[in-house]
Amino acid sequence: MRNAALMLGLIGGLWGMVVGFFSFAYTDLLIRYPDLAEFTGGVANIGPIRVMSLAAPVMAIAGAAMARSVNGLGGVLLLVSSAGMYLTFGFGVFTMFPIAMCALAGVLALAARQPDPH
């Protein structure tokens, strides 16, 4: 189960990096070109989006890396990352996979009680 948490968390974190990259870039465009918000609708809170664009994928990748050795802390980081992505970016076509993969990886990491057999 720890190996599955490692792989799912890593894939979820990498996909979360893609979402974070485009979210950060979009907010940067809104800061540089305020007229763009009239055309696209803009966002309400730029700050949390910019913070979670970096923090959520990093937490997911760090949690995945810890899933084999320190599974409790790794599982918590994965679940916090998943919750952060959900609360910040919402559940949509591009966020459903990183949210689901990180959440499942977090549950698997927390449920693993003994090391995986080799």
pLDDT digits (tens, 9 = 90+) for 88-112: 999 999 999 999 999 999 999 999 8
Residue 117 in any domain: the answer is no
| Residue of 66, 104, 65 whose CA lies nearest to 82 | 104
| Residue of 61, 63, 60 whose CA lies nearest to 71 | 63
Tens digits of per-residue pLDDT, 12-61? 999 999 999 999 999 999 999 988 888 888 888 899 999 999 999 999 99
Residue 10 in any domain: the answer is yes
Largest distance between two CA atoms of the chain: 57
Residue type present at position 29? L
Residue span of the structural domain in which 87 resides: 2-111
Number of domains in the chain: 1
Asked if 26 and 45 count as a contact pair (C-beta separation under 8 A), the reply is no
The answer on pLDDT for 9 being more than 70 is yes
The confidence score (pLDDT) of residue 10 equals 96
Residue 116 in any domain: the answer is no
Residue 59 in any domain: the answer is yes
Residue 64 in any domain: the answer is yes
Residue 55 in any domain: the answer is yes
Q: Give the whole-angstrom CA distance, residue 28 versus residue 34.
A: 10
Q: Residue 14 CB: number of other CB atoms within 10 A?
A: 15
The confidence score (pLDDT) of residue 11 equals 96
